[in-house]
Amino acid sequence: MPAPFEIEVEELDSRRKAGDDALVLDVREAWEYELCAIDGSLHIPMSGLPGRVAELPKDRDIVVVCHHGGRSAQVTMWLRSQGFGRAINLDGGVDAWARRIDPNMKVY
């Protein structure tokens, strides 16, 4: 069964609290990642991903994150075209995470 294309921040939060080993891949620019990031996420800016795609696992879910979900949706589609069938977009991005999960996280 293929992974869903997108998940909500609440689902990612509950999966992480339950010990799910999904990789959170943050594709924002370095300055954005320095402002705020989901704990434990792997930072590879969107522009650098083609050169680093071999670092990603194909045997676990990869939840792709950006600011609001637009860039990460593009990356999710690209990853799926590269054979990463378990790539999933985080709906609303870090902005939704900050507003609905982690009120201490900076928003921008």
pLDDT at site 1? 63
CA separation for the pair 84, 82 (Å, rounded): 6
pLDDT at site 3? 80
Domains in the chain, CATH or no CATH each = 6-100 (3.40.250.10)
Q: Name the 3-class secondary structure at 2.
A: coil
Catalytic residue chosen out of the listed positions 12, 49, 66, 88: 66
Give the chain's residues under pLDDT 70. 1
* Residue 36 known to be catalytic: no
Closest among 95, 96, 42 to 64, alpha carbons compared? 42
User: 36-52 pLDDT, tens per residue?
Assistant: 999 999 999 999 999 99
